[in-house]
Amino acid sequence: MAVNFYDNIEVIDSFQRDGFKVEVIQYKTLKGSKHHSIAKKLYHIQRAGMALKQIKVTLEDKGLIIERGNLNFHKGNIEMASKVGGVGGLAKKVISSKLNQEAVFKPLYKGTGEVFLEPSFGHFVLYELDNDSIVVDKGLFYCCEEGIEVGVESMKTLSAGMFGGEGWFQTKISGTGICVLSIPVPFDELMKYELENERVQVDGTFALLRTSGIKYSVKRSSTNLISTVTGGEGMLQTFEGTGKVWLAPTEPVYNYLTLGEPGFPITYNTTK
């Protein structure tokens, strides 16, 4: 059974190696459903330049780990396999889940065929790991190649856990292969820094990713208490060392715009 990818669907990013291929596909337009009330929402979505995207993974006797709930459908000789690892593995996963407040089990699909994940108006980035690890915000992990380990990274200092705004634990992704991250802003709005024994300080929680060579802590904006108080910045997320740091400086703006009702435009009361 062949699937025809019509002119309305395009591949906007892809990665392939050793029987594992991941593609970010995008629907150019949405034609609407039988409900005319959808037309108004689609009009504003398309006027804003938003597009529906979907992750497609092609496997040739390979495995795919996904965040639970992300599966849309799969086709071919593919089965979901257990990735618990016995009683000890189960206990470790339960503890990990409690720590970073993410799903205990991340389903593993193995075989030969195609896997499609849930469509989204969000944004995806393909990140290649080479015997390395990255620490990302909770909720960013979407899927990855089998062999990559998805765990937790604990905060190393009391101030980071209490004042960092990220909680006591984040998601740590380690190994060699490709992973897909669901990021909160378009890729071209990210600021990707390569630090060489340098420091970046952030007033907020819009640092999305850091590599293993970067030390994370939370520090006062000034060593002088009076300067900290009068400067108005307070505690800053601090990234120091050699490696990569990704920032999404536009994310706070989007968060502000969606305060009214997440996922829908803000409406204003114009009655007097």
Query: Considering its fold, how many domains does the chain have in total?
Result: 1
pTM: 0.80
Which pLDDT does position 222 carry in this prediction?
55
**Between these two residues, 97 and 138, which has the higher pLDDT value?**
138
Q: pLDDT by residue (tens digit) across 230-244? A: 344 578 999 999 999
Whether 244 is covered by a domain: the verdict is: yes
Least confident of 51-60, 86-95, 97-106: 86-95
Q: pLDDT by residue (tens digit) across 34-69? A: 888 888 889 888 888 899 999 999 999 999 999 999
Whether 233 is covered by a domain: the verdict is: yes
Whether 251 is covered by a domain: the verdict is: yes
Which pLDDT does position 1 carry in this prediction?
54
Phi, psi at 11, each rounded to 5°: -95, 120
Whether 78 is covered by a domain: the verdict is: no
Whether 127 is covered by a domain: the verdict is: no
Domain containing 211 equals: 184-272
Whether 217 is covered by a domain: the verdict is: yes
Whether 191 is covered by a domain: the verdict is: yes
Whether 201 is covered by a domain: the verdict is: yes
